[in-house]
Amino acid sequence: MTAAVQVLIGTRRGLFVASSDADRTGWRLSDPRLAGREIYCVARDERSGALWAASRHSVWGPHLHRSDDGGESWRVLENAPQFDDGRPLVAVWSIAPGSATRPGRIFAGTEPAGLFASDDDGESWRPVRGLNRHATAATWQPAGGALALHSIALDPRDEDRIWCAVSAGGVYRSDDGGTTWAPKNGGLRAEFLPTRFPDTGQCVHRMLVHPADPDRLYQQNHCGVYRSDDRGDTWVEITAGLPSEFGYALATDPGDADSLFVVPEESSHMRTVYGGRLAVWATRDAGATWAARGAGLPDENVYVSVLREGLAFDSLDPVGLYLGTSGGHVFASSDAGASWAMIAGFLPRVLSLGVVVPSA
């Protein structure tokens, strides 16, 4: 079977690859790759087709890996990002390939919170000091998980525009290739801070820049769901209509900038899916209205969480959605979340999902 879609499933004990047929209905699951490692994130470099994974091991520590054969085999890169102030690297949380005009450029976001860049396909790394040493970095603080830079996005129209999100620190944007950075948190609540709408220090759980309309950004925050229509300069809260303001996961439809998908959770104390029901909530009008989409998902006595990298989407029409849980189950929808089917179960805790459309 030639795979129409591959879902890279990063777990606490390795990476699995689920491959589908052209209808996105027949699925087969690989044996574990990178066995025994926690897989924090996976990404595909559309320039070369290479796959990237970031792992952490209790003995061997954090590493970056590259595959040039569709995930069948993986090479451990000799070097990983390192801070120049003596802080040890705990993990790499995000990987973002650069623009087509800079073929060797790769960005990595880390714990402790930092941004790093490579110009030789990950063989060596340099800290992006303009962000890592930003004047407001003293306002960053560990969130419930860690102090990490977990979201990186590049503007496809302008290779010098980069967005990053820190938990807890907020959203930052550079318009000059990473030399200087400005916080972009106008309108974001921070109920856990003395100032309700501070310039920085917000706990962003996940941030996305729409691939077809990079002026449109979305984020799931500790304090609600938000939309920006001006590249992050200002944010509008779109939580109304959702059962909870808390959650981590976020996905969009590459063909529709008004579409967004989230997984509400009970609260920052419980951190399991809302109401003991696994459901993805969708808006098709940029947050004006929301509806639950859960046909085929378990809807009783479900007390799992979906992490920030646990909801992913493909580039097909209609958009496919992929959902991984802390209980080790992975579900897929080939109709924008209207219906779901389990494609893998009884895996280790799912930490991250990545989607590859090989023909793209």
Domain boundaries of the chain, sorted by first residue: 108-356
Dist CA 6 CA 296 (whole Å):
21
Question: What's the rounded mean pLDDT across residues 326-337?
Answer: 98
Token representation of residue 28: 């087969």
Q: Which amino acid is at 107?
A: F
Q: pLDDT confidence of 143, banded at 50, 70, 90?
A: confident
Q: Which amino acid is at 166?
A: V
CA dihedral of residues 75, 16, 156, 218 (deg, nearest 10)? -140
Q: Per-residue pLDDT tens for 178-203? A: 999 999 999 999 999 999 999 999 99
Q: Per-residue pLDDT tens for 25-76? A: 899 999 999 999 999 999 999 999 999 999 999 999 999 999 999 999 999 9
Q: Per-residue pLDDT tens for 95-122? A: 999 999 999 999 999 999 999 999 999 9
Dist CA 187 CA 175 (whole Å):
21
User: How many other C-beta atoms can be found within 10 angstroms of the C-beta atom of residue 187?
Assistant: 14
Q: pLDDT confidence of 144, banded at 50, 70, 90?
A: confident
CA nearest neighbour of 17 among 360, 355, 358: 355
Task: Name residue, tokens 């569709």.
Answer: 70
Dist CA 199 CA 202 (whole Å):
8
pTM across the whole model: 0.97
CA dihedral of residues 275, 217, 151, 297 (deg, nearest 10)? 30
Dist CA 226 CA 192 (whole Å):
17
For the domain made up of 108-356, give the CATH fold. Answer: Methylamine Dehydrogenase; Chain H (2.130.10)
